[in-house]
Amino acid sequence: MIKRVDITNPELVKDILNVQTLAYKVEADIIGSDDIPPLQDTVESLQQCGERFYGYYVDERLCGVISIKQFDNVVDIHRLMVHPKTFRQGIAQQLLDFVENNAEKDGIIIVSTGTKNKPAVSFYLKNGFLKIEEKRVAENLSLTTFIKKI
């Protein structure tokens, strides 16, 4: 089940942070860089980030999270993460579909991921996103930005 997560609740944010840390450590290993900003987050920084969080729950256990910022007809996906113990179960797909199905028609969705994160790059391309930019953000880290028209 997917539901909005109340990030004013510190216990729920700790659950998000746990999934985030585990998921982004896997990405850090894939891309060969620990310079991923989500690995620096705290409960407080998540509560103040201005994003809306949606969680994918199985038996009341948080298994995946997507966060967005929305302005006008643009949905900006800031985080899409799945607990490593639940990889390859379609959770990321369901979270992305949830956001797409609730986005403004005739709008766009944008998302960025580590350029060397081949599984994530393939995931977005498979879902009809187009690569629009690649930008180096640190010595060992570049991000690729994708866009999809709804």
What pLDDT shows up at residue 36?
83
CA distance 27 to 120: 9
CA distance 117 to 7: 28
What pLDDT shows up at residue 66?
98
Q: What confidence tens digit (pLDDT) does each residue in 11-38 have?
A: 999 999 999 999 999 988 888 878 788 8
What pLDDT shows up at residue 34?
81
Start-to-end CA distance of the chain, whole Å, equals 23
Beta-carbon contacts of 18 under 8 Å, excluding residues fewer than 6 positions away, are 62
Q: What confidence tens digit (pLDDT) does each residue in 32-86 have?
A: 878 788 889 999 999 999 999 999 999 999 999 999 999 989 999 999 999 999 9
Q: What confidence tens digit (pLDDT) does each residue in 108-127 have?
A: 999 999 899 999 999 999 99
